[in-house]
Amino acid sequence: MSSSRHVPVMLQRCLDLLAPALQRPGAVVVDCTLGLGGHSEALLTQFPEARLVALDRDKEALRLSGERLAPYGERATLVHAVYDELPDVLARLGIARVQGVLFDLGVSSMQLDEADRGFAYAQDAPLDMRMDQTTGISAAEVLNTYPPGELVRILRAYGEEKQAKRIVAAVVRERAKEPFSNSARLVELIRDALPQAAKRTGGNPAKRTFQALRIEVNGELSVLERAVPGAVAALAVGGRIAVLSYHSLEDRLVKQVFAAGAANTAPPGLPVVPEQYQPRLKLLTRGAELPTEEEIAENRRAAPARLRGAERVRESIE
C-alpha cells in the first residue's frame, strides 16, 4: 500500500510532546492533517486508551488512511474537513474539549508522489495543486488570471522568491500566447527566466514558485491563522498541542499564537497579577525544534521541519 513509502516527520518527538496529556483514559487527540495516517496510526498504537479524531480536506487521503486505520475500529473518527473547521467538527461530534492536537502542515507525501495532482515540479502534470479537488481554483487559474502585481506578491511572500518580478514578467508574456495548463512548461519558463547565479543555489529553481502557488491555491496561511487559535481554545487544561511547519511564515504564525498564550496580559505595575491575566499556555519547546541529521538522511522531506509545542495551563476567563 502507498503508506509504506511514507515516513512521518519527527514522529517520536511529537509522541513524546503529547504523551503526558494522552496517557489518561478517555483522552481525545485530534490529528488536524491526517494525510496517509502515519502520525495517526502511531498515536492510536502508543496511546491505547485514546480516541482519535482526524481531519483532512483530501478525499483520497481519507480513503487510504481509512484502510490503514480500520483495525482501530471506533477509536478512529475520520472527517472530511479543513483544519480551521476543527471547532465545528468537535461540536458535531459532541466533544467539548480535547487532550491533544497535532498539526503536520504543508503538502503530504501522497500529494507529492501522485503525479497527476500537479504538486511536484519534477514530473509533468496538470497544474492543479488543490488539496481538495472538489473545490476552489487551480494553480493554472492563478497563473492565467491573477494580475502581475498580485503574482509578484504571492511569489515573494509565500515562496520567498527573490526573482519574482522576472518570473512573473515571463509568465505574463507566455500566458498571452497560450494559457498555462501543465507543470513542465512552467518549470522550463522559470529555468529560462532566472539568471545563472540563481540557478546554482537551493535545489530545483521552480521549488519556491510551486510552494507559493500551492499556499495560495489552498489558502494555507489564512486557514492556519484561524486554525491554531481554534485548536488552542479546544484544549482542556493539561492538554497539549504540537505543530510541525515547513515554511518560515507558517512557523512565525504558530510562534505568535503560542507566545501570546504564554504571556501575562496584565497592565504594567500590578503588584499581584490577577487570574484573568495569567498565561493560558506553557511553551514546551525552546524556540522551534529541528529534525536530527539522521532523520533528514532517512527522510529528506523532514529537512525544513520546525516543531513547536505548548500545554494549556489554565482556562480563559473572559
Which residues fall in the annotated binding site for S-adenosyl-L-methionine? Answer: 37-39, 56, 83, 104, 111
**Binding site, residues?**
37-39, 56, 83, 104, 111
H helices, E strands: number in the chain: 14, 7
Nearest by Cα to 3 from 40, 57, 53, 28: 40
Residue whose C-alpha cell is 504571492: 154
Q: Which residues pair with 309 in a beta bridge?
A: 242
Q: φ, ψ for residue 197 (rounded to 5)?
A: -60, -40
- To which H or E segment does residue 239 belong? strand 235-245
User: Do 307 and 288 touch, CB atoms closer than 8 A?
Assistant: yes
Contact 177, 185 (CB under 8 A): no
The kind and range of the H/E element at 193 are helix 183-193
**Can you state the angle between helices 164-177 and 148-159, rounded to 10 degrees?**
140
- Coil/strand/helix, residue 137: coil
CB 30 within 8 A of CB 101: yes
Residue type (1 letter), 6: H
